[in-house]
């Protein structure tokens, strides 16, 4: 589910374009409505030999961080006090391309953790969470705890200033279906 699938008002689309960034192994960092081809992404930790190194993260080097910093500075200039919230709603694999220690002063980084769910369910949750942040225009760490879903529950006792935890309470049928597919693959190998 991409941003183009969101049934949004023009104001929300403009907000997303200014505030939402997507990390991509193929394109680096993109905005929701950038004109890129809808292809399967290259994993950020892919081993691809370039002049800059052996891995894709080395290829991107600091260019992702530089662009993200420019975007954060632009947003913070419009905020009182110059503070800006950066929500890490991506896998560690992709976020390793961001040099967090080089982000602008006044940036508050909060990581969102979706736990105890299959990868495909987590990927959908990340998209839904990004949509929630954009539609509600969340700009404080506390606001990140207001995400509501039938499949996810906030684990308040584990939340900190830097991390917000959601635990999957999703459909048991999905768990059984996933297990059944894994069992089928294991049998096919035998």
Q: Which two tokens stand for residue 20?
A: 């939402």
pLDDT value, residue 38: 84
pLDDT value, residue 83: 85
Residue 182 phi, psi dihedral angles, 5° rounding: -65, -40
Lookup result for tokens 């632009």:
74
- Whether the predicted pLDDT of 137 surpasses 80: yes
Average pLDDT over residues 115-141: 95
- Which carries the bigger pLDDT value, residue 45 or residue 181? 45
Grouping H, G, I as helix, E, B as strand and the rest as coil, residue 110 is strand
- Whether the predicted pLDDT of 186 surpasses 90: no
pLDDT in tens, 52-85: 889 999 899 899 999 999 999 999 887 766 789 9
Beta strands in 116-156 (DSSP E): 152-154
pLDDT category of residue 127 using cuts at 50, 70 and 90: very high
d(C-alpha 37, C-alpha 102), whole Å = 30
User: How much of the chain exceeds pLDDT 90, in percent?
Assistant: 69
pLDDT in tens, 38-50: 888 899 999 999 8
CB count within 10 Å of CB 99 equals: 14
pLDDT category of residue 189 using cuts at 50, 70 and 90: low
pLDDT in tens, 96-120: 999 999 999 999 999 999 999 999 9
d(C-alpha 184, C-alpha 8), whole Å = 40
4: exposed, middle or buried (Cβ count in 10 Å: 0-12, 13-18, 19+): exposed
Q: What is the pTM of this model?
A: 0.82
**CA neighbor of 79 nearest in space, from 57, 106, 97, 44:** 106
């Amino acid at each position: 589910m991409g941003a183009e699938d969101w049934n949004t008002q023009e104001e929300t689309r403009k907000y997303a374009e200014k505030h939402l960034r997507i990390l991509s192994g193929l394109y680096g960092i993109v905005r929701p409505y950038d004109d890129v081809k809808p292809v399967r992404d290259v994993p950020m930790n892919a081993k691809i030999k370039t002049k800059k190194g052996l891995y894709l993260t080395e290829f991107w080097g600091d260019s992702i961080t530089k662009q993200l910093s420019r975007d954060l500075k632009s947003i913070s200039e419009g905020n009182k006090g110059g503070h800006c919230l950066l929500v890490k709603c991506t896998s560690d694999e992709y976020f390793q391309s961001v040099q967090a220690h080089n982000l602008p002063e006044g940036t508050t980084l909060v990581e969102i953790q979706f736990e105890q769910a299959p990868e495909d369910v987590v990927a959908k949750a990340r998209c839904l969470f990004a949509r929630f942040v954009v539609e509600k225009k969340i700009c404080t760490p506390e606001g990140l705890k207001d995400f509501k879903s039938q499949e996810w529950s906030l684990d308040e006792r584990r939340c900190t200033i830097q991390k917000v935890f959601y635990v999957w309470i999703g459909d048991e049928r999905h768990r059984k279906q996933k297990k059944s597919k894994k069992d089928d693959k294991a049998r096919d190998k035998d």
